[in-house]
Structure 1
Amino acid sequence: MYARAVAAVTTALLGTAALLVPGSDAKAGSPATVTHAPAGAVTARPLVIGHRGASAQAPENTLAAIDRAARLGVSWVENDVQRTRDGELVVIHDDSLVRTTNVKDVFPHRAPWKVKDFTAAEIARLDAGSWFAPRFAGTRVPTLTQYMRRVEHNHQKLLLEIKNPELYPGIEQQILKVLGDEGWLDRQHLAGRLIVQSFGADSLRIVHGLAPAVRTAFLGAPHVADLPAYAGFSDGINPSHGSVSRGYVAAVHSVAGPHGRPLAVFAWTVDDADTARQVARYGVDGVISDKPDVVRTALRTTAPQTP
């Protein structure tokens, strides 16, 4: 049911991408908020990104979580995007609705309760907050459109993850269509407010091919020898904090991405001060955290380190 829509979106996006390719006067897609110092120099403190919003203080991937991040003064938030049975894009991490909603109570005979097996209207009926705390009862799973509008209202920046792209053929085009419809493919947003990430290298290749000005990041820690291949379609490498080292970060920074800048490194998921300081000493460009306030405080009290 998505074939005609995907074809139309692809045509439109190819036209948009042609206007936004790197090298324009506005330098669309260049990572304005991420800088890399030369070897031996003092580096800036890394960005702090709220993982699924401020997810230690509000239900993950909900509007409440990004509102909480905004109140904490956290400008960057991360989310996860999947697709419903009838083609709506929704913001939720798991491919199952069980962990973060009351789906088993509302639809007891619909096991295994996968996102892709429910319509957007059915998912909109679910309580996505009570599991976290009683005061969040009635919180809903947001659509991507609803989420983008709240991020824009909050003047926030977005690290958008395409979740399980192998389950949703054509999801890349659909996401880009929503981003375009919401005004997020203009030069201002692309220059410093949007990064698309995924564990799926093929998914990122599709995004880069359709809209080359959009910054992308691969989730994982590819072998150093493979980094030039990833640099053909990805602007960053985002590994788990346990797989980060000073040498690995330096190796990533030594490779230029598709926009001519060194590949960035955002480490996840860092929720304590000691780990935050450690990865900062390694030279990462960003730290993704369920507790962005804790990490931000830790990094503010730690002077930038030399490699």
Structure 2
Amino acid sequence: MTYPRIIGHRGAAALAPENTLAGFAKAAALGVKMVELDAKLSADGEVIVHHDDTLGRTANGEGPVAQASFAALRALDAGGWFGPDYAGERIPTLAEALEAIAAAGMGVNVEIKPCAERERETAEAVIAVVQEHWKGNGPFQFSSFRPLCLEVALEQAPDYARGFLTDSFAEGWLERAQALQAVSVNGNYRHYRKDRIAAVHAAGLLALAYTVNDPAIARQLLDDGMDGIITDVPDQMMGL
């Protein structure tokens, strides 16, 4: 299993509204070969692409996503906050995003990002959508900060690669990644020391770092052996 050195975070989050079809198209136009996105459930069980548990930052609504129907979410503007050129951009379904990403020839990292107490429900729904709609030839993985979500992915979709997400590399992080049969450890770059990269490689896994927006830091991480960089600014990273 290999992944591109540069992965677009939520599409190309500094260049177009995150987690939107416009954002994925922007990444593709830059030559990005893989993007990351966030998948969660609406109140009525539709799998959507959206990061936050609450509305307001990247869509012009308010309140918890988990309490909003898909119809209500679909009516929101998910692009105007970024700039007038993106006004009217909608929150996409995961199915729509997967089809667009595949059509653009990119791979995808689907982060399973459940709202509170919806871990298994969200994981099962996300997996079902991926199994039906992901037809791309590019690299793929599920990732999550929630171990239960990756456990469900291992149980129900063992042939799909898994990435173990960690922020602080808490004690036992590598053992947990191995127990989940992850192919990569996707860690916060601020805590991804060179010895940790070496430990990941010694375990036969890949080292991916998020969210790296300084080209000098990215260059150092790659020189230290990092296999891939997840970034909001792929336009600044593509030459590394």
TM > 0.5 between the two? yes
Distance 1:227 1:82, change over 3 A: same
Map of 2:238 onto structure 1: 296
Are the counterparts in 2 of residues 224 and 248 from structure 1 also a CA contact under 8 Å?
A: no
Q: In structure 2, how many angstroms separate the alpha carbons of the residues matched to 1:127 and 1:265? A: 36
Q: Percent sequence identity over matched residues? A: 35
Superposed counterparts of 1:47-86, under 5 Å: 47-86=5-44
Distance 1:156 1:254, change over 3 A: same
Q: In structure 1, how many angstroms separate the alpha carbons of the residues matched to 2:172 and 2:131? A: 35
Map of 2:104 onto structure 1: 154
Map of 1:118 onto structure 2: 68
Q: In structure 2, how many angstroms separate the alpha carbons of the residues matched to 1:149 and 1:274? A: 34
> Once the two structures are superposed, what CA deviation does each residue of 1:112-131 show, in whole Å capped at 9, x if it has no partner?
x1111111111110001110
User: Gaps spanning 5+ residues in structure 2: where?
Assistant: none
For residue 180 of structure 1, report the CA deviation from its aligned partner.
Answer: 1.4
Map of 1:177 onto structure 2: 128
More strand by share: 2
Q: Give the RMSD, CA atoms, in angstroms.
A: 1.6
Match of 1:244 among 169, 192, 202: 192
Superposed counterparts of 1:169-208, under 5 Å: 169-184=120-135, 189=137, 193-208=139-154
For residue 296 of structure 1, report the CA deviation from its aligned partner.
Answer: 1.8
> Once the two structures are superposed, what CA deviation does each residue of 1:192-220 show, in whole Å capped at 9, x if it has no partner?
52111000112111101111111111111
For residue 264 of structure 1, report the CA deviation from its aligned partner.
Answer: 1.0
| Residue type of the alignment partner of 2:82 | F
**Secondary structure at the counterpart of residue 50 of structure 1:** strand
Are the counterparts in 1 of residues 7 and 231 from structure 2 also a CA contact under 8 Å?
A: yes
Count of residue correspondences: 237
| Residue type of the alignment partner of 1:231 | Q
| Residue type of the alignment partner of 1:271 | N
Superposed counterparts of 1:22-37, under 5 Å: 31=1, 33-34=2-3
Are the counterparts in 1 of residues 37 and 109 from structure 2 also a CA contact under 8 Å?
A: yes
Map of 2:164 onto structure 1: 218
Q: In structure 1, how many angstroms separate the alpha carbons of the residues matched to 2:64 and 2:72? A: 12
Map of 1:23 onto structure 2: none
**Secondary structure at the counterpart of residue 208 of structure 2:** strand
Are the counterparts in 2 of residues 70 and 156 from structure 1 also a CA contact under 8 Å?
A: yes
TM-score under structure 1 length normalisation: 0.74
Are the counterparts in 1 of residues 98 and 134 from structure 2 also a CA contact under 8 Å?
A: no
Distance 1:251 1:212, change over 3 A: same
- Higher Rg of the two aligned structures: 1
**Secondary structure at the counterpart of residue 179 of structure 2:** coil
Map of 2:175 onto structure 1: 228
Are the counterparts in 2 of residues 130 and 136 from structure 1 also a CA contact under 8 Å?
A: yes
Map of 1:22 onto structure 2: none
Distance 1:224 1:235, change over 3 A: farther
Q: In structure 2, how many angstroms separate the alpha carbons of the residues matched to 1:61 and 1:229? A: 28
Distance 1:144 1:226, change over 3 A: closer
For residue 226 of structure 1, report the CA deviation from its aligned partner.
Answer: 4.4
Distance 1:228 1:56, change over 3 A: same
TM-score under structure 2 length normalisation: 0.93
